Amino acid sequence: MGQGFIDMRNVRDTMTISLGRDKKVIVRRELDKKRRSVKTLGSNVREAVGFTISVRNTRKEKVNLTLVDQFPLSADKDIEIEEKEAPGATINEQTGIAEWTLVMEPHALKELSLFYSVKFPKGSSINTYK
């Protein structure tokens, strides 16, 4: 058992506390090979990457959860993140955060998708997914 500290000075009428990962909610993020492509466009390359995110509730009760993922960000003006898609998610354009709010019925499975493309100069080497 651990210890923690809650700073009550900035608490309003509602406070959200994360108690960590629930081992009975299983999340998998896999590369969607059907949506992966690399195309040369003049002096640039466009690489498209998609992921399938599976969320399974193995509990006997309903679970409310927030799932968070992130699109890549680029500080290099020659590297552009394009075509961002995350159906059903709220996307923060500044941070690249995609956030889904889910209500999972007992033993339910939901599949979500995240897709983007990256345009970069030919000859550059970048890591577009993890």
Assess if residue 46 is contained within a domain: yes
Question: What range defines the domain where residue 100 resides?
Answer: 20-121
Tell me how far apart the alpha carbons of residues 88 and 100 are, in angstroms, rounded to a whole number: 6
Residue 126, pLDDT score? 80
**Sign of the C-alpha dihedral computed for residues 87, 91, 95 and 99 taken in this order:** negative
Assess if residue 45 is contained within a domain: yes
Tell me how far apart the alpha carbons of residues 80 and 120 are, in angstroms, rounded to a whole number: 7
Confidence band, pLDDT 50/70/90 cuts, at residue 128: low
Assess if residue 107 is contained within a domain: yes
Residue labelled with tokens 């498209």: 48
Which of helix, strand or coil describes residue 121? strand
Task: Indicate which CATH number applies to the domain containing 90.
Answer: 2.60.40
Assess if residue 126 is contained within a domain: no
Assess if residue 1 is contained within a domain: no
CA angle 24, 29, 30 (to 5 degrees): 135
Assess if residue 12 is contained within a domain: no
Residue 29, pLDDT score? 96
Question: Is pLDDT of 18 > 90?
Answer: no
For the segment 35-57, what is each residue's pLDDT rounded down to a tens digit?
A: 899 999 899 999 999 999 999 99
Counted domains in the chain:
1
Assess if residue 15 is contained within a domain: no
pTM of the full structure: 0.79
